[in-house]
């Protein structure tokens, strides 16, 4: 495993686990940016109305030296930091009529102009797509999402999504508005496993509160490159947009708090099978954190730079990223606790057997 300045933790009392903390590392804060998740909100939070058209802002004396992206994010709270950075890159944020970089420091007396484009509308269509329903009542439906399925419509993915399938299965699910009716959390396109979708406003209120209180149990199974030599670990490293690649997330100082708990289930020849609990839920959190400690997920083409059978490029034991949402536990709106499990799907089970035989 490559040397990482954040992997020099003090052993815990049981000497079986350790804490990986980003604060132990040395970072150039000027080169790192924090970020929102892809939707710009905490999990479960409904969309906030945002301005459209030209917005003018005027820095005050107390705000001298503030980064341009941070300044705009503070004054236009309905826009996520990542979206603001995209607007800056598109020259839609001007300082005294001139395009500037996100790191530009604002000064009193300047006029900041933001040109916010209208949202691209994506039609919501009910589609007769088969669903693997694990549980359903009048308030929620728990589904086993297959790999390859996008959760909700967006430009480029207008159809064939989980939302399209849900609207056909339960037309009354249109709570929360926008193009994500009923959706309070997401899985990456190529991540399989358990998701809960709300069907009523009272379910949304209940589940959002549980997500914000971090009382929802979210467990994952992942096969990662390399062999971790301790049985348990906690990765506490904030996550934000990768400053060198806007399509990726990264562990960066100043990002949003992200905590991942790892437990080794099995060590193979060149790989480790992990049972993972998420304390927070950031975009690509498990994939970013495992890559950060030098153990990227097998088959992850975005974050696994290694070659060979356990890499993310070319021939691999896994036909996709080896990540599965295997456990989900929460309380129904009436207070009853429920817990669900999902076995590894066939493609990952077969990949694991091939890895064991290596």
Pair (224, 322) in one structural domain: yes
Pair (177, 318) in one structural domain: yes
Q: 73 is in which domain, residue-wise?
A: 53-116
pLDDT higher than threshold 90 for residue 80:
no
CATH number of residue 197's parent domain: 3.30.2350.10
Q: Per-residue confidence at 308, pLDDT binned at 50, 70, 90?
A: confident
- pLDDT tens for 108-128 read 999 999 998 876 666 788 999
- pLDDT tens for 53-75 read 788 999 999 999 999 999 998 88
Pair (103, 174) in one structural domain: no
Pair (201, 231) in one structural domain: yes
The residues annotated with a catalytic role in the active site are 188
Q: 34 in a domain, yes or no? A: no
Count structural domains, the chain. 2
Pair (91, 183) in one structural domain: no
CATH number of residue 85's parent domain: 3.10.290.10
- pLDDT tens for 102-112 read 899 999 999 99
Q: Per-residue confidence at 146, pLDDT binned at 50, 70, 90?
A: very high
Mapping DSSP onto H, E and C, the string for the chain reads CCCCCCCCCCCCCCCCEEEEEHHHCCCCHHHCCCCCCCCCCCCCCCCCCCCCEEEEECCCHHHCCCEHHHHHHHHCCCCCHHHHHHHHHCCCEEECCEECCCCCECCCCCCEEEEECCCCCCCCCCCCCCCCEEEECCCEEEEEECCCCCCCCECCECCCCHHHHHHHHCHHHCCCCCCCCCECCCCCCCCEEEEEEECCHHHHHHHHHHHHCCCCEEEEEEEEECCCCCCEEEEECCEEECCCCCCCEEECCCCECCEEEEEEEEECCCEEEEEEEECCCCCCHHHHHHHHCCCCECCCCCCCCCCCCCCCCCCCCCCCCCEEEEEEEEECCCCCEEEEECCCCHHHHHHHHHHHCC
Q: When comparing pLDDT for 345 and 85, which is higher?
A: 345
Q: 14 in a domain, yes or no? A: no
Q: When comparing pLDDT for 98 and 178, which is higher?
A: 98
Pair (61, 149) in one structural domain: no
Q: Per-residue confidence at 49, pLDDT binned at 50, 70, 90?
A: low
Domain end: 116, 143, 162, which one?
116
Pair (110, 138) in one structural domain: no
Summary mean pLDDT of the chain: 83
Summarize the confidence of residues 15-24 as an average pLDDT.
Answer: 48
pLDDT of residue 21: 52
């Amino acid at each position: 495993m490559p040397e990482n300045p954040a992997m020099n933790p003090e052993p815990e009392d049981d000497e079986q686990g350790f804490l990986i903390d980003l604060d132990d590392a040395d970072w150039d804060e000027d080169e790192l940016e924090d970020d929102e998740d892809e939707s710009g909100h905490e999990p479960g939070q409904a969309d906030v109305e945002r301005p459209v058209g030209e917005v003018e802002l005027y820095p005050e004396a107390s705000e001298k030296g503030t980064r341009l992206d941070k300044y705009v994010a503070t004054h236009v709270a309905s826009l996520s930091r990542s979206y603001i950075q995209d607007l800056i890159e598109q020259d839609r944020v001007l300082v005294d009529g001139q395009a500037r970089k996100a790191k530009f420091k604002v000064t009193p007396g300047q006029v900041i102009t933001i040109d916010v484009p209208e949202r691209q509308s994506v039609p919501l269509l009910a589609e007769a797509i088969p669903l693997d329903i694990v549980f359903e009542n009048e308030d929620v439906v728990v589904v086993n999402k297959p790999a390859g399925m996008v959760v909700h419509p967006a430009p480029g993915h207008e159809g064939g999504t989980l939302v399209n399938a849900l609207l056909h299965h339960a037309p009354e699910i249109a709570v929360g508005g926008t193009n994500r009716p009923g959706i309070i959390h997401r899985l990456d396109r190529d991540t399989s496993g358990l998701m809960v979708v709300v069907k009523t406003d009272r379910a949304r209120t209940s589940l959002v509160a549980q997500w914000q209180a971090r009382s929802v149990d979210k467990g994952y199974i992942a096969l990662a490159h390399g062999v971790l030599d301790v049985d348990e670990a906690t990765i506490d490293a904030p996550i934000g947009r990768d400053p060198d690649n806007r399509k990726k997330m990264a562990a960066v100082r100043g990002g949003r708090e992200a905590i991942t708990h790892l437990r080794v289930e099995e060590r193979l020849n060149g790989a480790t099978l992990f049972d993972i609990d998420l304390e927070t839920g950031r975009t690509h959190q498990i994939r970013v954190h495992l890559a950060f400690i030098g153990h990227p997920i097998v088959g992850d083409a975005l974050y696994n730079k290694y070659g060979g059978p356990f890499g993310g490029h070319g021939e691999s034991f896994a036909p996709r990223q080896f990540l599965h949402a295997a456990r989900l536990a929460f309380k129904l709106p009436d207070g009853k606790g429920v817990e669900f499990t999902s076995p590894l799907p066939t493609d990952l089970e077969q990949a694991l057997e091939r890895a064991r035989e290596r």
